[in-house]
Structure 1
Amino acid sequence: MVEIRLKNSKSRRVEVLDPIIPGKVSMYLCGPTVYDRAHLGNARSAVAFDQLFRLLRHVYGAENVTFVRNFTDVDDKINARAAETGREISDITAETTQWYLDDMGALGVMEPTHMPRATAYIAEMVSFIEDLIARDHAYARDGHVLFRVRSFAEYGKLSGRSVDDMIAGARVEVAPYKEDPMDFVLWKPSADDIPGWDSPWGRGRPGWHIECSAMSHAILGEEFDIHAGGSDLLFPHHENEVAQSCAAGHAFARIWLHNEMLQVEGKKMSKSLGNFFTVRDLLDQGVPGGVIRFVLLGTHYGKPMDWTEKKREEAEKTLRKWYDAARPGGAVPEAVVAALADDLNTHAALAEIHRLGGADLGAALSLMGLWDGTVPDWATAFDVDLSAFEDRLRAARVTAMQSKDFSEVDALKTALLGAGVEVRMTKENVELLPGPDFDPAKLEDL
């Protein structure tokens, strides 16, 4: 079996994936908070770990891989959106959840094995919190329940921080119900106009961090193989997940994976800079989902990436070329699998694919989530009829052979080549083929 190696954020080392249950792999990915459209940064995490999901299925078999990606559908951002719009919270979360599924589906992101919603696991969260209180790792006060950070000696090891340094260097809320500034909320009271559930501490709702611990435990058990997410979640979200899960006696995740952040044209994506856009924005502008996925996979998940218009153009040209050459069937070449098995090196995998053609190319593109066996409409949009230009070039050549003046032939060839058309001329025939750089607009003057 292929040996998969992954960079474990917890150990800071590349480690061999050695599944807890031999031959079976379990993975959890922190999913979206559903109150708006997914932006390009959200998509990077979804695409990167969808690629890992695909690799795991290829190596271990689809039936032996369990992938969980949650939906956070109880959150103060959702409550705020409901207050702004006057809409029901359930309507907002249902709509935005489907938006996410549709937009990620357009990028070739497969649906995970399980997609739990936080609101369906409130009972498990309450039970989890009760256990932490019983173990003296949490306490209730003024309708809140908080995790006692200093009760967990290993707090900070995942992110490489110390509690004292975090207090000294951060603006931490010192609420009257906290024993210590670093203690974080597991449960908080709800006013009558926002979602709430009955609990031993009164009507309220869960804190964000407890959600993933409770859902991963309920579905994957005491310990699972991989926990993934964006590097922005490393602290405090993932650090707090580790603390509360391990304090409750669960071994939790063995390997932690974090994708780095995304920029646009060399700058942090920001609404104030005018370079913030959602996946739906790009799709509505006519950027194909496969092209977006290709650009995202072009940079290793563990490195910062820069979305640029140049990368988008190059991705589209490359995919057009590949779709023209790909054929169904075949087997994924070992070199492509080996690149992905090397800490999900998608950049290297794409480099290997450049050497392929035919059925093996099709198989490799399928593994990368870039091809479903059919050529998408956008990739054939430039399949135009060049027969009129062929006739014109033939006639010009006949005239030139008689007059010995080939200036018109040369001019036509130069214009066609400049438009990305391959010109094939023999004594008997003229054939024009649109290449990956074909731009029909450049033929308008002809």
Structure 2
Amino acid sequence: MSIRLYDSLQQAVVDFVPREPGRVGMYVCGPTVQSAPHIGHLRSALVYDLWRRWFAARGLSVTFIRNVTDIDDKILANASDAESWWALAYRVELEFTASYRALGILPPSYEPRATASIDRMHALIETLIARGHAYPAHDGSGDVYFDVRSWPSYGALTRQSPDDMEDAADAPARAKRDPRDFALWKGAKADEPESAHWESPWGRGRPGWHIECSAMAARYLGEAFDIHGGGLDLRFPHHENELAQSSAAGHPFAKHWVHNGLVSVAGQKMSKSLGNSVFAVDLLANHEPAVVRYWLGSAHYRSTIDYTPTSLDEAREALGRIQSFRGRARARLGPEDGYRWVASIEELVPAAFAAALDDDLAVPQALAVLHETVRAGNSALDSADDVAVRTTLLQVGAMVNVLGLDDAAPSPRAAESAGRALANLVEVKLAERREARADRDFAAADRIRDELTAAGIVLEDTPTSTEWRLDG
């Protein structure tokens, strides 16, 4: 096994060697729960779900931490008299969780909220001050800033010189030694709710955005861990600042930095100002979650993908071909569990599929192997080669498992449609049974009952009709 990944800090594809043999520690920047999740959030969460699943398939034990930023300028700005900031944050967090679950994204090993690690942030800030890399503001505001000029490696992640960077827009420049210095702690402001402030050595206030992730990553993964992930838009300033403050505090921090590409809409950047945001709830209401998952994962994770109203059509057809083969094969051989030999997912997937995912999670190439296997399986079905059908069905099932396509929930629309189809089919069979009984062909009537029973349909005859229900 030799997994390779693109390390944004090294700007190269490198071999992945866990710090601890057999174990992987991953920290991924989760949502700032200020407003409803959109398609970009789904894409980022899916990328790291795929990485996590492949590490696990390769036999590695994964500790996966994805945080929730539940205190932030925008959360406070979006709160109202009718909905406090903490209630808004929790409501939106639940919306993210529901969207992730619908797509079959595995829950993290732990999902910490920023507000639960304030003490760890204080300790980290105190360390930075003691080491000469942070300072309290001179204006008495209670702010504390990271001194970017004190850290020679600042800008390493994005290959920038501080002189070329934009000013940090988190506080007035007059309170800073350098306009690029960023806030570690924000002193309380009169127009903010008292509940959004915590006591600190520098006065009441709340944490800056960047210090939150450094503190939570160290708390749950230790000062050194394997992978820090997030969207490409987080490289600067968020991840640059995380790297600087954690390194300046003496933490080895992340061995590798991984970033996923963004989602555009009809060739334009998705933004509130353009009014072109595609929200998760709308996308999942209009498309099967498995189709959404297939489409979001079908491009290489570092590329930008463009959404249009017809973007998911090809994904729907491709997924349909996979499902059609599995349905045909199961109809011939029965469910895979009836003849699966003892083997790991790693042993079941084709070598070319594994090689593709080992190569910086090349899902497009892995999907090509999946569809080639489906074509071979259909040919085996056509020639009644049951041995080949069995082999390809197991391989396809293993690949689908790795990609998480079976874990996506059916949409309410699909469930409703399936329910109507089932009801129609059962009524047809009941009509045939009534006709057989009227003709006194009791053997045929019993055969229809047995067929329905085998399919999980329970019949209850009454003096005037036959009722049916699903078994269990």
Give me the TM-score of the superposition, normalised by structure 2: 0.76
What count of residue pairs does the alignment treat as equivalent? 380
Name the CA distance, whole Å, in 1 between partners of 2:272 and 2:186: 31
Q: 1:171-250 maps to which residues of 2 (within 5 A)?
A: 175-191=173-189, 193-194=192-193, 195-250=196-251
The one of 348, 357, 367 equivalent to 1:350 is: 367
Letter in 1 for 2:256: I
Name the CA distance, whole Å, in 2 between partners of 1:174 and 1:8: 34
1:355 is paired with a residue whose SS is helix
1:354 is paired with a residue whose SS is helix
Per the alignment, residue 86 of structure 2 pairs with 90
Name the CA distance, whole Å, in 1 between partners of 2:360 and 2:41: 20
Name the CA distance, whole Å, in 2 between partners of 1:68 and 1:103: 18
Q: 1:103-122 maps to which residues of 2 (within 5 A)?
A: 103-122=99-118
Task: For residues 190-245 of structure 1, give each alpha carbon's deviation from its aligned partner in whole angstroms, at most 9, with x where no partner exists.
Answer: 23642000001000000000000000001111111100011111011000001100
Name the CA distance, whole Å, in 2 between partners of 1:23 and 1:96: 36
Conserved in 1, the CA contact under 8 Å of 2:30 and 2:69?
A: yes
2:177 is paired with a residue whose SS is coil
Per the alignment, residue 37 of structure 2 pairs with 38
2:189 is paired with a residue whose SS is coil
2:174 is paired with a residue whose SS is coil
Per the alignment, residue 315 of structure 1 pairs with 315
CA, structure 1 residues 57+164, in 2 after alignment: closer, same or farther (shift >3 Å)? same
CA, structure 1 residues 96+239, in 2 after alignment: closer, same or farther (shift >3 Å)? same
Letter in 1 for 2:204: R
Name the CA distance, whole Å, in 2 between partners of 1:315 and 1:374: 16
Q: 1:21-36 maps to which residues of 2 (within 5 A)?
A: 21-36=20-35
Per the alignment, residue 363 of structure 1 pairs with 398
Deviation at 1:140, TM superposition (A): 0.7
Per the alignment, residue 74 of structure 2 pairs with 77
Deviation at 1:383, TM superposition (A): 7.1
Conserved in 2, the CA contact under 8 Å of 1:144 and 1:187?
A: yes
Comparing 107-116 with 266-275, greater Cα deviation is found at: 266-275
Task: For residues 306-362 of structure 1, give each alpha carbon's deviation from its aligned partner in whole angstroms, at most 9, with x where no partner exists.
Answer: 123333011112212211222545622222222111101111111111012422212
Conserved in 2, the CA contact under 8 Å of 1:82 and 1:89?
A: yes
Per the alignment, residue 157 of structure 2 pairs with 158
Name the CA distance, whole Å, in 1 between partners of 2:291 and 2:358: 23
Conserved in 1, the CA contact under 8 Å of 2:168 and 2:182?
A: no
The one of 139, 150, 156 equivalent to 2:135 is: 139
Comparing 36-45 with 89-98, greater Cα deviation is found at: 89-98
Give me the TM-score of the superposition, normalised by structure 1: 0.80
CA, structure 1 residues 39+372, in 2 after alignment: closer, same or farther (shift >3 Å)? closer
CA, structure 1 residues 365+90, in 2 after alignment: closer, same or farther (shift >3 Å)? same
Q: 1:395-410 maps to which residues of 2 (within 5 A)?
A: none
2:318 is paired with a residue whose SS is helix
Percent identity, aligned pairs only, is 45
The one of 338, 341, 345 equivalent to 2:358 is: 341
Letter in 1 for 2:175: Y
Does residue 48 of structure 1 match 2:47?
A: yes
Letter in 2 for 1:360: Q
Task: For residues 379-435 of structure 1, give each alpha carbon's deviation from its aligned partner in whole angstroms, at most 9, with x where no partner exists.
Answer: 98597999xxxxxxxxxxxxxxxxxxxxxxxxxxxxxxxxxxxxxxxxxxxxxxxxx
Name the CA distance, whole Å, in 2 between partners of 1:349 and 1:316: 17
Conserved in 2, the CA contact under 8 Å of 1:172 and 1:181?
A: no
Name the CA distance, whole Å, in 2 between partners of 1:99 and 1:3: 37
Name the CA distance, whole Å, in 2 between partners of 1:383 and 1:178: 67
Per the alignment, residue 269 of structure 1 pairs with 270
Name the CA distance, whole Å, in 1 between partners of 2:184 and 2:168: 20
Name the CA distance, whole Å, in 1 between partners of 2:21 and 2:186: 40
Deviation at 1:270, TM superposition (A): 3.3
CA, structure 1 residues 207+26, in 2 after alignment: closer, same or farther (shift >3 Å)? same
Conserved in 2, the CA contact under 8 Å of 1:295 and 1:307?
A: no
Comparing 271-280 with 4-13, greater Cα deviation is found at: 271-280
Comparing 131-140 with 275-284, greater Cα deviation is found at: 275-284
Name the CA distance, whole Å, in 1 between partners of 2:250 and 2:408: 47
Conserved in 1, the CA contact under 8 Å of 2:259 and 2:302?
A: yes
RMSD value, Cα: 2.4
Conserved in 1, the CA contact under 8 Å of 2:290 and 2:408?
A: no
Conserved in 2, the CA contact under 8 Å of 1:323 and 1:375?
A: no
Conserved in 1, the CA contact under 8 Å of 2:122 and 2:200?
A: yes
Letter in 2 for 1:355: E
CA, structure 1 residues 369+234, in 2 after alignment: closer, same or farther (shift >3 Å)? same
Name the CA distance, whole Å, in 1 between partners of 2:178 and 2:200: 24
Deviation at 1:291, TM superposition (A): 0.9
Per the alignment, residue 411 of structure 1 pairs with none
Comparing 310-319 with 94-103, greater Cα deviation is found at: 310-319
Name the CA distance, whole Å, in 2 between partners of 1:290 and 1:218: 34
CA, structure 1 residues 43+374, in 2 after alignment: closer, same or farther (shift >3 Å)? closer
Unaligned runs of 5+ in 1: 387-446
Conserved in 2, the CA contact under 8 Å of 1:67 and 1:113?
A: yes
Conserved in 1, the CA contact under 8 Å of 2:104 and 2:409?
A: no
Name the CA distance, whole Å, in 2 between partners of 1:181 and 1:273: 30
1:199 is paired with a residue whose SS is coil
CA, structure 1 residues 55+86, in 2 after alignment: closer, same or farther (shift >3 Å)? same
Name the CA distance, whole Å, in 2 between partners of 1:269 and 1:373: 25
Letter in 1 for 2:310: K
Per the alignment, residue 126 of structure 1 pairs with 122
Letter in 1 for 2:182: F
Name the CA distance, whole Å, in 2 between partners of 1:260 and 1:372: 23
Deviation at 1:271, TM superposition (A): 4.0
